[in-house]
């Protein structure tokens, strides 16, 4: 019987998809935040889960090697668009955040808090009101970041991964491959071997993913190539330190809503 594995439907995961599915598995397309609940309920057995959701999954999952999504410098797909500079986004400014993410919203919260002070954070824009800033992730951010816009009021673009590097001096890890602890050993082995195979073939898989991604998003292939170079999928020790730093900094804030309604 085939077991379900969550697969983020964004371009940043396209090289993984080029490898095909792990033996005995099938992909279930889920945005990053949805994979957390799916792992908790057992709707999927494995996922590249947002690092921001790892606390909720403590005792439920285990890491599979050092695989995921990370960036040291610009990520190109986790972008904060604002009508004023990042340093001026204090209350009473308003923002809108994506519901697809569990890591990026927390990252934005930390970066704004470190920059402005946690008592001066902007609040969420009421429904129907144009916000002063918006957080986008994935393909929407990549496409919008590639287009020069002069008519949407958002003259400033902040790449959150670059901002994290500027402040912390470390890469940011957005997601890690995990598997449920109660998954059959055969499934854990299959996913582990699939990821090891990915590491060996990564350069080829990345190259194969470029043209299809460019066509799908209607952006130049050289932009996709630059994006794939910005994203790291096989993580190193510095990435792990960046992940640990983020988890330590966000832990005191628990699961309470990070940005408040007006």
The torsion of the CA quartet 149, 150, 152, 155, rounded to 10 degrees, works out to 90
pLDDT digits (tens, 9 = 90+) for 69-108: 999 999 999 999 999 999 999 999 999 999 888 899 999 9
pLDDT digits (tens, 9 = 90+) for 195-249: 999 999 999 999 999 999 999 999 999 999 999 999 999 999 999 999 999 999 9
Do 142 and 227 contact (CB within 8 A), yes or no? yes
Measure CA 53 to chain center: 11
Measure CA 185 to chain center: 28
Based on its alpha-carbon atoms, the radius of gyration of the chain, rounded to whole angstroms, reads 18
Do 79 and 101 contact (CB within 8 A), yes or no? no
pLDDT digits (tens, 9 = 90+) for 150-204: 556 789 999 999 999 999 999 999 999 999 999 999 999 999 999 999 999 999 9
Rounded Cα gap, residues 127 and 86, in angstroms: 22
Residue 109 scores a pLDDT above 80? yes
- Other Cβ atoms within 10 Å of 221 Cβ, number: 13
pLDDT digits (tens, 9 = 90+) for 15-67: 999 999 999 999 999 999 999 999 999 999 999 999 999 999 999 999 999 99
Q: What is the DSSP letter of 22?
A: P
Alpha helices in the chain (DSSP H): 14-18, 32-41, 104-116, 138-146, 160-168, 185-217, 221-230, 237-250
Fold classification of 78-170 (topology level): D-Maltodextrin-Binding Protein; domain 2 (3.40.190)
Comparing CA positions, the residue from 86, 69, 184 lying closest to residue 132 is 86
Rounded Cα gap, residues 135 and 141, in angstroms: 8
Do 145 and 79 contact (CB within 8 A), yes or no? yes
Strand order in the sheet with 78-82: 123-124, 94-96, 133-137, 78-82, 156-159
Architecture of domain 3-70+172-251: 3-Layer(aba) Sandwich (3.40)
Rounded Cα gap, residues 104 and 141, in angstroms: 12
The boundaries of every CATH 3.40.190.10 domain in the chain are: 3-70+172-251, 78-170
Residue with token string 């670059």: 162
The structure tokens listed for 123 are 């609040």
């Amino acid at each position: 019987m085939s077991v379900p594995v969550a697969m983020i439907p964004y371009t940043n995961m396209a090289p993984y998809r080029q490898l095909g599915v792990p033996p005995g598995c099938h992909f279930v397309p889920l945005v990053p935040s949805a994979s957390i609940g799916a792992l908790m309920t057992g709707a999927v057995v494995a996922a590249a889960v947002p690092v921001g959701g790892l606390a909720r999954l403590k005792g439920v999952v285990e890491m599979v090697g050092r695989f995921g999504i990370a960036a040291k410098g610009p990520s190109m797909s986790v972008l904060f668009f604002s009508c004023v500079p990042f340093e001026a986004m204090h209350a009473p400014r308003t923002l809108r955040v994506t519901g697809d993410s569990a890591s990026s919203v927390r990252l934005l919260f930390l970066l704004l808090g470190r920059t402005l002070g946690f008592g001066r954070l902007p609040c969420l824009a009421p429904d129907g009101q144009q916000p002063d800033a918006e957080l986008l992730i994935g393909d929407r951010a990549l496409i919008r970041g590639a287009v020069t816009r002069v008519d949407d009021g958002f003259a400033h673009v902040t790449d959150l991964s670059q901002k994290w590097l500027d402040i912390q001096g470390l890469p940011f890890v957005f997601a890690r491959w995990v598997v449920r602890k109660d998954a059959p050993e055969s499934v854990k082995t299959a996913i582990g071997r699939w990821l090891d195979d990915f590491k060996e073939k990564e350069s080829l898989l990345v190259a194969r993913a470029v043209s299809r991604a460019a066509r799908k998003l209607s952006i130049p292939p050289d932009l996709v190539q630059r994006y794939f170079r910005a994203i790291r999928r096989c993580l190193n020790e510095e990435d792990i330190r960046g992940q640990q730093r983020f988890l330590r900094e966000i832990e005191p804030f628990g699961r309470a809503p990070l940005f408040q309604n007006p």
